[in-house]
Chain A
Amino acid sequence: MGIYTRLIVKAASLVLVLIAVLFFMVVILGATGVSDRILSSLVSEEVRLYRQSVAPQIKDPAALEEAVTKFREERIKSYGLDRPWHERLPDMFLRVLMLDLGRARLAQTFAGSNKISDIMLERLPNTVILVTTAIAINFLIGIFLGVRVAAKPGTRLDRITSFLSAVSYAVPTWWLGIIFILVFAFYLRLFPYGGLYSAPAPQDPLLRVLDILWHAALPVTVLVLVNVGLTIYVTRTIVLNIAQEDFVNVARMKGLPEGLINRRYIMRVAAPPILTNVILGLAGSIGGAILTEAVFSWPGMGSLFFEAIVQSDEALVLSLVYMFTIVYVAGRFVLEVLYVVVDPRVRV
């Protein structure tokens, strides 16, 4: 299989996953009656707008009422609310796909729009920035330390990292975030409680970037701290296994310098499985980001989840699940491309 075929197959299967998730969501929405509620609120919103627009022209209250009722019935028909939910599946499917889900109940964009697609587009980059930064730092630290630890298996350092990675598995990201706020924002007053900018945000571009970094410090640290233990541990195990292989021993016996052995004989082989691990950890990182954003009121999609659930804004929850699946699928694809770069075997 050539590179391109491989990438196309990967892309196709990921798109298939996306479609399957969408389909699954739409079926559940229909079966639980949630889609009825979403569509009805769309209808009443349109009816309200219609009444406002025709009210100046139609002076007779009875005639106005009649026109509004007629409009309502027409809308109900066009949304398919008069038909059972399974007949509406394709329509609902497209609606979610295009994020054409009307307006959020309370959530708004910075400029004041409450259209769901606008909100999503505003929040998406913030989530992507947070997740990618955290994953990148996590793996830089994790691989660096993992390789170090693997060089001395069985030592105290090795055992301490194994234990710490086990402990970090048991720590909920969001709780650690809360504790960080309590310690670093409430008691020590070193970092802000949350958000993306100070209010008011500084005008100077450089200061603005520094301001964002200052706000991002705690959430990124929390995300990294919770995940890095496992990364170190997994990297250590992979590297350790490869370091015991015959070809590495032969290289040592040939008298090659240790640095060269590490780079060419061990890391070259270890890179693909480590990357596979990054891919497997992606879903977890996204989940952690949802909760971390909520804790730090980071204005991404995760904190929106927190609000949407309390406001029981069904359309918003639905769009968020969809958007997170897209982020995941896109992230997966980027990593698959990286995999092709790292692993020469798939390029033959």
Chain B
Amino acid sequence: MSILSRENFRIFFSTWSGRAGLSLLIVLSAISIYTLIYIPVPEVSIHWNDPQYWADYPKNAPPVWVNPFLERKLLETQVFQERNIEVVGRGRVAEFFVNYQYDAFPTHITLIVSDLSYPSRAPVLTLSVVRPDGYSLEAAKIPVPPPRPDEQSPYVRFSLKPERVLVSSSDELVREVYKIYLDRLGAQVTPTKIMQEGPQKYLFGVPQDGKIVPLKGVYRFTLTATQNEGRLSIESVQIILGGEMYGFMGTDVIGRDLALGLLLGFPISLFVGVISSVIVTGLGAALGLISGYFGGRVDNIIQRFADFINNIPVLPLLIFLVFSFGTKLWIIIVAFVAFGWPGLTIVTRSIVLQLRESQYVESARAIGASNLRILARHIFPNIAPFILAQVIFLTPSFILLEAALSFLGLGDPSLPTWGQILELGFRSAAVYLGYWWWIIPPGVLIIITALTFVMISLGLEPVINPRVRAVGRR
């Protein structure tokens, strides 16, 4: 009877753990495939460890969906962008309306201009803001570098490296804010104090009872080109309001979007688990077959090796291997294989020893079948279901081991994994600061992934081992 028979599927689906495990596996695979298709994994892996790339993201920010539960609404990081802008002569380049309904101030304001080209005279870009109370002020000025003597029109600027202006620390903003507070709002502040507390606080605030409180309403940010002649084109203008919350899963200490890291963890975790398990099972079963079928000296050597590896504490030696050979993903997998095969070899051997003495093997040998044929046609089909079950049974242990190694600082640094997210979280004291969004999701995902295979394994038990069926149905 084939392992893939309809009867076996029926038995598998009659267990709830089989159904649950298989559904989970489908969900996990779907997320992995989505990640591999829609997220450029190699590119993101490079950005992942580059603090510069995450400079504009808030650090240690909780996910945005927490806000409805908070009494004091925190600001979500907001990114406003306009692309492919063309302006003739002087005038408005881009305009953003910010509906500000929060009880906190932005941590910073950044303006990013990329890929600008102008035909003749170098323009100056000016960012101005109109507050809900009608006061307007100039927040920043970007002088675009003038043409060099040997350069031809059109002059391209900010193309290799986008121009990044930290508006919230520009002297202009401090000066303008000071002017408004002094002249219009009648508040006693000094430029030094504004600089210290950040002018963005004053930009988005009004004085009330000696304190600055957020001024809610619509703010208009306008970027205009002054001193421009001819057609000015800009690829993208971005304004980032730095908040204290970010995205669906929050950020870590570097400002990395944890949702992205967690998504990338899916394919990596499944890959490490399944590949290690397949290789370990393949090797273990092959050695067990050889050992059990041929016996003699080969059997002896293989069994002594298996006994030896079975008798050593695996984790310290795994740590040692990965530590001395380097933290590469393939080295981690090789180390898993090196320590993983013996258990299966010993069990396979004992099964094969019984099969070898069976009558049909004996009769096959009597009519002159070769060893290879006997192994392939008569012995292997008998242990195939068991081997398949082993692949699934062993997978979670490798997923967990990889996570454990990552947590100890031995993960492959070129790939973000759940274990590594947890490692950084632990090392940068996220636990002691209560950053739960950084600590809980990776662990839960590790558990769900491991549990998926445990449950499929439970569902397979009555298929592989008919004696369990009676108990399972009771």
Which A residues have a C-beta under 8 Å from some C-beta of B? 14, 17, 20-21, 25, 28-29, 32, 34, 153-154, 163, 166-167, 169-172, 174-175, 178-179, 181-182, 186-187, 193, 282-283, 286-287, 290-291, 294-295, 305-306, 309-310, 314, 317-318, 320-321, 324-325, 327-328, 332
- Report how far A283 CA is from B264 CA in the complex, Å: 32
Q: With A and B bound together, what is the CA distance between A76 and B316 in angstroms?
A: 30
Instruction: Give 7 new A-B contacts, CB below 8 A, not counting A163-B17, A283-B314.
Output: A17-B312, A34-B324, A181-B431, A283-B312, A290-B315, A295-B426, A318-B320
Asked if A317 and B320 make an inter-chain contact with CB atoms under 8 angstroms apart, the answer reads yes
Tell me how far the C-beta of B463 lies from the nearest C-beta in chain A, rounded to whole angstroms.
Answer: 17
Chain B contacts for A306, CB-based, 8 A: 408-409
> How far is it, in angstroms, between the C-alpha of A17 and the C-alpha of B304 when the chains are bound?
11
Taking chain B's interface residues, is the majority helix, strand, or loop, or is none over half, making it mixed? helix
- Which residues of chain B have a CB within 8 Å of any CB of chain A? 17, 308, 311-317, 319-321, 323-325, 396, 400, 403-404, 407-410, 422, 426-427, 431-432, 434, 436, 439-440, 443, 446-447, 450-451, 454-455, 458, 471, 474
Contact indicator A21/B312 (Cβ below 8 Å): yes
Instruction: Determine the chain A residues whose CB is within 8 A of the CB of B319 once the complex forms.
Output: 290, 305, 309, 317, 321
Q: Knowing A174-B404, A178-B439 touch, does A317 contact B308 (C-beta < 8 A)?
A: no
Give bound CA distance, A317 to B439, whole Å. Answer: 27
Once bound together, how far apart are the Cα atoms of A324 and B410, in whole Å? 18
* B440: chain A residues within 8 A (beta carbon): 179, 182
With beta carbons under 8 angstroms apart, the residue of A29, A282, A286, A310 that contacts B316 is A286
How many A-B pairs have beta carbons closer than 8 Å: the answer is: 130
7 residue pairs of the A-B complex, CB under 8 angstroms, read A17-B312, A172-B446, A175-B422, A186-B432, A305-B319, A309-B319, A317-B323
Check A328–B446 contact: CB distance below 8 A: no
Known contacts A25-B320, A309-B409, A309-B410: does B447 contact A166 (CB below 8 Å)?
Answer: no
Q: Is the CB of A178 within 8 A of B422?
A: yes
Measured between C-beta atoms, what is the minimum distance from B318 to chain A in Å? 9
Asked if A186 and B446 make an inter-chain contact with CB atoms under 8 angstroms apart, the answer reads no
A175 to chain B: closest residue by CB = B443
Which 3 residue pairs are nearest across A and B when measured between Cβ atoms? A287-B315, A170-B450, A175-B443
Contact between B316 and A178, CB atoms less than 8 A apart: no
CB <8 Å contact, B409 and A310: yes
Measured CB to CB, the closest approach of chain B to A180, in angstroms, equals 10
Residues of A within 8 A of B315 (CB): 283, 286-287, 290
Are A324 and B311 interface neighbours, CB within 8 A? no
Q: Given the complex of chains A and B, what is the CA–CA distance between A310 and B413 in angstroms?
A: 13
Q: CB within 8 A of B308: which of A20, A174, A282?
A: A20
Residue of A32, A170, A320 with most partner-chain B CB within 10 A: A170
* Residue from the list A154, A172, A178, A290 in contact with B471, Cβ < 8 A: A154
Bound CA span A169–B427, Å = 25
CB-CB < 8 A to A166: which residues of B?
Answer: 17, 451, 454-455, 458
* B324 contacts A182, C-beta separation under 8 Å: no
